[in-house]
Amino acid sequence: MTFHLAGSATNGRSSTLAVVATCLAITTLDGLDLIMFGTVLPTLLEKEEWGITAASAGLVGSLSLVGMLIGAMFAGYFTDIVGRRPVILACVVNFSLFTALCAFAPNLELFGLFRFAAGIGFGGALPTVIALTMEYVPFERRQFFNGVIQTGFTIGGCVAAISAIYVIPAYGWHMMFLVGGALGVVVLAITLKTLPESVAFLIQKGRHDEAQAIMVRYSIDMRTESGRAVTEDGSDTGRGRALARLFAPGYRGATVLFPLISFCGLLVAYAMNTWIPQMLRSTGYDLGSALVFLLAFNLGSAMGMVVLSGLADRFGPRPVISTGFVVGAIAVSVLTLEPAQALVFALILLIGFCSASQTAVSGFVGIYYSPRARGTALGLAIGLGRLGGVCGPIVAGLIVGSSLGTQWAFYVFAAVGLVAAALVVAVPKRQPDTVAVPAARPAAAHRADMSATQSDS
């Protein structure tokens, strides 16, 4: 079948923004629901709800991350069968429903079970929206837009932190989860209306009429991977071959290292997001101040996601990510000196900014592998990396609840950040994949080649 890639540049940009905005809304809801437990944790501990302790709170905080690991690992498999759009819709329904159910949990066991179930939706959504976004944005700006959509996690975290300051004292912690479920219904309606299916998936499945309709509606051209998908052979896009590519010569080292980097990055990020309010409250700050620090962490992270991803497009991901991890480790170490409150706020803001290095890791994975292996690579890196997210809140909870105290938790976070930086430097360099681009767009081809070459940096 002959595909027509007509469409004005203005329409193309508008369509790109529609896809990016929808994926951003999904990750914002994802972030709000995920960070919500950290905002209610001080209240749960203060009231000893269900007899909760620091150790059991760390375990509950990790249950959603176990679900995220499972969701991320299996998302790629299901998207190969039913497509990206149905999987994303199912994920939104899942984490919205189970977040709302948390408000009605009669005991800690069911509360933890609901957090685990919601985590499956969290985990499945992220690699799927990253992969879909990269198909609809300009080729040379894929890392930047990866950062843009992942700012949703910190935007959601900021909304959760601000809401908690006013909602919890007035209506109780249960209301936080009810609001999260209600917002899920809104995001679901937006997603149903605006989110397209993967053109590459439709072509692979022989659904050419649907692919053509999407290309016309979204004004797809050869600047995007969706446009290029119509000129490539889709006969070998199965998951088995994609997995084989990850362990082909030249890729094996990176395939092992990327999950380890994600493990370190997510260990620190999720431990900090879960425990910042309680850790700083234990050093003498009141609940309101502690929640402001959580807000600062998420604000810094949101800025870092855009800035660091943009810098990765310009200078290459390797130096940007490794530098971010090192600076973050130094900032965490300074917290052990118990500086003044104003400096603590600035340090937390900087730590949040540097924690966005983990977001840039997803972009690094996305440009390191070919498009046909990207979904599997992202699922593997993010899914296995979630083990760090699982361990982080548990480790922090054990340290905070022990005689070691809060300072040792900061020491551990700093050490893990330095390990992450070393692993980034160790990722093997490789030659960029050859990308076929029509002669009619030489400038776009040059930018694409430059973007691919940055995966060596």
Mean pLDDT, range 137-155, rounded to an integer: 84
What's the confidence (pLDDT) of residue 104? Answer: 92
Residue 229 or 390, more confident: 390
pLDDT at 157 over 80: no
**Which tens digit of pLDDT belongs to each residue from 78-136?**
776 778 889 999 999 998 899 899 999 899 889 999 999 988 988 888 888 888 888 88
**Nearest in space to 115 (alpha carbons), one of 53, 56, 189:** 56
What's the confidence (pLDDT) of residue 307? Answer: 92
**Which tens digit of pLDDT belongs to each residue from 350-384?**
998 998 898 899 889 888 887 667 777 888 888 88
pLDDT at 208 over 80: no
**Which tens digit of pLDDT belongs to each residue from 319-335?**
999 999 999 999 988 88
What's the structural domain count of the chain? 1
**Which tens digit of pLDDT belongs to each residue from 245-294?**
778 888 888 999 999 999 999 898 878 877 777 777 766 666 566 667 77
**Which tens digit of pLDDT belongs to each residue from 8-59?**
445 556 667 888 999 999 999 888 877 788 788 888 887 778 888 877 887 8
What's the confidence (pLDDT) of residue 422? Answer: 95
Distance of CA 89 to the CA centre of its chain: 17
Please give the Cα distance from 331 to 346 (Å, whole number).
10
What's the confidence (pLDDT) of residue 446? Answer: 44
Is residue 276, in this structure, part of any structural domain at all?
yes
What is the pTM assigned to this prediction?
A: 0.77
Is residue 4, in this structure, part of any structural domain at all?
no
Is residue 1, in this structure, part of any structural domain at all?
no
Is residue 2, in this structure, part of any structural domain at all?
no
What's the confidence (pLDDT) of residue 263? Answer: 93
CATH code of the domain containing 350: 1.20.1250.20
Is residue 3, in this structure, part of any structural domain at all?
no
What's the confidence (pLDDT) of residue 327? Answer: 95
pLDDT at 189 over 60: yes
Residue 389 or 238, more confident: 389
Average pLDDT for the chain: 80
Mean pLDDT, range 413-428, rounded to an integer: 93
Is residue 342, in this structure, part of any structural domain at all?
yes
* Domain containing residue 27: 9-456
Please give the Cα distance from 407 to 419 (Å, whole number).
19
Is residue 65, in this structure, part of any structural domain at all?
yes
